[in-house]
Chains A and B, each alone.
Chain A
């Protein structure tokens, strides 16, 4: 099977998944609007108090600037979570068995889901950033740093999407598939996305400092603030690549093993 088949078949499957998103807006609207609702909630309900904790006297304005990078991670997680549902739903359809009897690039079905989810992620990130800018976010990053931050978010999205593809495959039902990736939504809260980890008790803090979301959040935050990143950036990239590799292999294994139809 040639590389051109891989590209062409993945493109075909991507078009299929984009049509699905368009025909089934319930699945695409939540990951786009969810982060905006959370952003407004955190800034206008908790922001005044939390902002003072981060920069004494900083208030709501300080919190928008601290929170936005963390909220971008949440947007990535939200979009990835819907992938588990759409993959699980897809696997209940007889058409997957049909795909397996055709001479197409095998991972194309899954690649289509991943690419569709990435596009959803980018839309979600754009909407979240636009709303954040409207309510007082002012990044100090150079264009190059903006690009680097976006690049890291896309790397994270690729990693989480392959992981949720695998979770969608391993789930026995669509309901399970919608619950399995819930832990991913909790992880940003147990990290540096919403408050600095220094304020946490020792055990929680240890976990927060060593889980993958924290170096990724910190790197995105530093980049967008126009600061020097350092070794945290390397840790963030390594986490993303490691998760991608493991999740891709797991998903492929599950897809090939799974009895079709």
Chain B
């Protein structure tokens, strides 16, 4: 097993980096003292795309967002958002971005409507138009009934919705969402997902970070996996899944005798446990499936149920980071 396939999608991105991009970062490095948080990250996000930066806690996701959102200066790197350099043209970047951080950034002592009005004033929007926009956003984020209550009384989900509405009031071209659903209940998560998908309908570029693989899978056109300050893979979710030959065919039988016969025909081990099932590893192509079916037919074994299990991002992530860790252990021993 080699680590090279995992790097292919990154190489692919580099070759397309000359096309217009909402975000382009080359060799981003950031350390806090001796602690290297970002160790040479390259990434490109096309205009209008949803890009997910995936990684465990402490991988450097938030640091990356804070650098892109002009909250933190990088130690090194050429970083452009909507064509503007984040360090030298920070104000131009601030003009076109919207940021929703990990913790809801609302003013607790102001009402929902006042929070939105505060943002409208800080975006220097003209009054009559801003009032209209505030009403629209209250409607869109289901906050009309709570509009005149102070945010302190809001639930976690309501706060997050208000936070997103505040991010949108300036009609940003690029939106950063740092773990937008962390700490939310499943229903609120679903609502946030719908809203994020709604954003791209307006042509907005979305850069989100998440620890949840299903979230990246559902929302993102492209995913990059960050681990220990380095991107270990980048590509579409489909491309990433293809990197892992972890697919399998699940077979279920009526009884143990048929299970044993099947195992013999396909030359796979009988798993421990009570389920009368077999798992056949596959690279996902049709020829393999045809071979499995033919061999079962030829041995006259009846199968009750057949399912093809595609690797999900969870498998991708575990395979990539697992291999990474093994390499480290080998290097140290």
Contacts and interface: CB of A to CB of B under 8 A. Distances in A.
Contacts of A100: 70-71
B110 interface: yes
Interface string A17-47: 0011001100000000000000000000000
A8 B91 CA distance: 17
Contacts, number: 65
Given A12-B118, A103-B95, A98 B110 contact: no
Q: Decide if the interface of chain B is mainly helix, strand, loop or mixed.
A: loop
Interface in B57-77: 66, 69-72
A94 B101 contact: yes
Interface string B93-112: 01101110111111111100
Contacts of A101: 69-71, 94, 97-99
B166 interface: yes
A120 to B, nearest CB: 16
B103 A94 contact: yes
A209 to B, nearest CB: 44
A1 interface: yes
B91 A103 contact: yes
B101 A24 contact: no
B150 interface: yes
A16 B117 CA distance: 10
B109 A19 contact: yes
Interface stretch (B121-129, B269-277, B282-290): B121-129
Interface residues of A, number: 25
A95 B107 contact: yes
Interface in B103-152: 103-110, 114, 118, 121-124, 150
B97 A99 contact: no
B124 A8 contact: yes
Interface in B134-179: 150, 166, 170
B109 A102 contact: no
Contact of B71 (A5, A8, A15, A260): A260
Given A19-B110, A103-B95, A97 B101 contact: yes
A148 B72 CA distance: 45
Contacts of A97: 71, 99, 101, 105
Contacts of B70: 100-101
A6 interface: no
A54 interface: no
Contacts of B150: 23
A24 B71 contact: no
A98 B114 contact: no
Contact of A9 (B98, B106, B122): B122
A95 B105 contact: yes
Nearest to B124: A8
Contacts of B123: 102
A5 to B, nearest CB: 7
Nearest to A24: B109
B254 to A, nearest CB: 58
B148 to A, nearest CB: 13
Contacts of A15: 121
A85 B61 CA distance: 32
A93 interface: yes
B110 A16 contact: yes
A103 B94 contact: yes
A8 B107 CA distance: 19
A34 B278 CA distance: 79
Interface in A85-117: 93-95, 97-104
Given A12-B121, A102-B94, A19 B114 contact: yes
- Which of B110, B118, B121, B122 counts the most A-chain CB atoms under 10 A from its CB? B122
A261 interface: yes
B97 A261 contact: no
Contact of A98 (B72, B105, B108): B105
Contact of B91 (A1, A24, A259): A1
A200 B283 CA distance: 92
A259 B72 CA distance: 8
A183 B70 CA distance: 37
Interface in A132-147: none
Contacts of A16: 107, 110, 118
B122 A93 contact: no
Interface of A: 1, 5, 8-9, 12, 15-16, 19-20, 23-24, 93-95, 97-104, 259-261
A-B complex: 10 closest residue pairs judged by Cβ atoms: A94-B105, A98-B105, A103-B94, A12-B121, A101-B99, A94-B103, A95-B105, A23-B109, A101-B69, A103-B95
Given A98-B99, A100-B70, 8 more contacts: A12-B118, A12-B121, A16-B110, A19-B114, A94-B101, A97-B105, A101-B97, A103-B94
12 contacts: A1-B91, A5-B124, A12-B118, A12-B122, A93-B107, A94-B105, A97-B99, A101-B70, A101-B94, A259-B72, A260-B66, A261-B103
Interface of B: 66, 69-72, 91, 94-95, 97-99, 101-110, 114, 118, 121-124, 150, 166, 170
